[in-house]
Amino acid sequence: MSTVLSPATGLSGIVDHGAASGSSGAPWVRSLRAAALDAHRELGVPTTRHEEWKYTPLRRLVERDWAAGEPGPAVFQRELPRYDEGSIRIVLVNGRFDRNLSETEARSPHWVARSLRDAVTEDDAVVREWLGQVGPKTTQAVGREITPDSHTFAELNTATFEDGLFLHITGDVAALIEIVHVATGDGQAFAPRVLVVAEEGARARIVETYVTDGEGATFTYPVTEVVVKEGANLEHVRVQDEGAEAFHIANWQTTQAAGSEYHSFNVCYGAGLARVDQGIWLDGQATVTRLDGVVCAGGDQHIDNHTRLDHAQPNSNSFEVYKQIVDDRATVVFNGKIFVHQDAQKTDAKQTNQALLLSPTATIDSKPQLEIFADDVKCTHGATVGQLEDLPLFYMRSRGVPKDQAEAVLVYAFAAEVLELITHVGLRQALERRLYEKLGVDLGA
């Protein structure tokens, strides 16, 4: 039985558009795009018979005829999120860098933000080195190997992206860097592409937010690549809060050099069907990694998160905590993999996945995985599923707290272990307020 859907799906128009537009640019760009297009065609669209997609059916996605996304409007129906008035704000509309809405003038010499299309056209040396090269496979440009872990939608993004963002961090950036992705239009598909390179000793805090504007179904299949060089320190928050009709399938890859720290937070509130594949490659000694997530799903939402941590060198530490809140008829999937490679002695890796079911019709599918090929390591993983406890709920209600607010406070306390680690106060508070909104609670009432 086939593990992929026929290529004659609703994605064929996007593929054809990518094939037509991928013949321009420098030779290395053409090779990158051609290899990605071939890989996507070989991989196809996975079905639930594919182990990595067992709990996330894509038939609703491929039954629609998606058009390659057009440039977005100049005026939006909604106010775009902003977490700090003093932040550096960069806006991508329908996958394209918007110069009018973005702040491209550096307030310090320690960062540069520019259109990825411009950087590719001008053959920027840093972009040429890293675009399409982040993650466990570092020879992706030509002749790439197709494995069970290959991500067909990341390949589709590489073959079809029109533009994106190149963020180059060379020193200590005090201001929060806000990257806002806006998707508009009905029946359109977008391929945002972000490349972040933090040079040796650089420090920054970044938040990527994905939202939709207006009504209608959109399909966003973004790729974010992050390079954290020796001694660099990045805090990276990803917020997916798209509309109920949206489809969102993302790939997020990071590579860390020796002595670096990377703290990532994956916050999933939106979309009707969403999946994020996140991989971090620890390619140096004395690296510190946090890979945390908060998921809040209700209605008929389906949210799937696959994480992968590769400890490739000795003396590295990683900590992963995922908190998932599932209500109504929603489904949440979590698959967390930790690989400790043969040379990665003295590894310390901890993974925790906890789910809170608020409805008898809610579903959680959890699959923690741990593969160790070294003998001097400390590794643990665990998964729990439960409901709100009666005793603290009774205690709060007996003191006059309304039932919905009491439940919301307890749910927040469950998620706070992750959200409280976000160091930017304004961002953390905004995500807390949004969590209460998802739970249907007005704290001002």
Per residue of the chain (445 residues), give pLDDT as tens.
Answer: 456 555 546 788 788 776 666 656 788 998 999 989 988 988 889 999 988 999 999 999 999 999 988 888 878 888 999 999 999 999 999 999 999 999 887 777 899 999 999 999 999 999 999 999 886 654 333 345 556 567 899 999 999 999 999 999 999 999 999 999 999 999 999 999 999 999 999 999 999 999 999 888 999 999 999 999 999 999 999 999 999 999 999 999 999 999 999 999 999 999 999 999 999 999 999 999 999 999 999 999 999 999 999 999 999 999 999 999 999 999 999 999 999 999 999 999 999 999 999 999 999 999 988 899 998 999 998 889 888 888 878 888 888 888 888 888 888 889 988 999 999 999 999 999 999 888 877 665 4
Query: Does residue 11 belong to any structural domain of this protein?
Result: yes
404 and 256 in a common domain: no
Which of 261, 283, 305 lies at the terminal end of a domain, its last residue? 283
Question: Whole-model pTM?
Answer: 0.94
Residues 347, 45: Cα–Cα separation, whole Å: 36
Split into its structural domains, the chain has a count of 2
Close Cβ partners of 229 (under 8 Å, ≥ 6 residues apart): 197, 198, 199, 200, 202, 257, 260
Write out the residue range of the structural domain in which residue 437 sits. 390-445
Residue with structure tokens 């594949």?
A: 277
Which of 235, 261, 283 lies at the terminal end of a domain, its last residue? 283
Query: Does residue 102 belong to any structural domain of this protein?
Result: yes
Interval 133-178: pLDDT, tens: 886 654 333 345 556 567 899 999 999 999 999 999 999 999 999 9
Close Cβ partners of 155 (under 8 Å, ≥ 6 residues apart): 36, 37, 39, 40, 43
The two tokens of residue 191 are 């391929």
Residues 318, 337: Cα–Cα separation, whole Å: 12
402 and 273 in a common domain: no
Query: Does residue 166 belong to any structural domain of this protein?
Result: yes
Query: Does residue 298 belong to any structural domain of this protein?
Result: no
Close Cβ partners of 302 (under 8 Å, ≥ 6 residues apart): 56, 272, 273, 274, 330, 331, 332, 333
Q: Spell 218-233 as b/e; 16+ CB within 10 A means b.
A: bbbbbbbbbbbbebbb
User: If we measure between CA atoms, which residue out of 210, 189, 374, 232 comes closest to residue 276?
Assistant: 210
Which of 283, 305, 339 lies at the terminal end of a domain, its last residue? 283
223 and 82 in a common domain: yes
267 and 404 in a common domain: no
Query: Does residue 144 belong to any structural domain of this protein?
Result: yes
Query: Does residue 309 belong to any structural domain of this protein?
Result: no
**Residue ranges of E strands in 131-187:** 165-169, 177-184
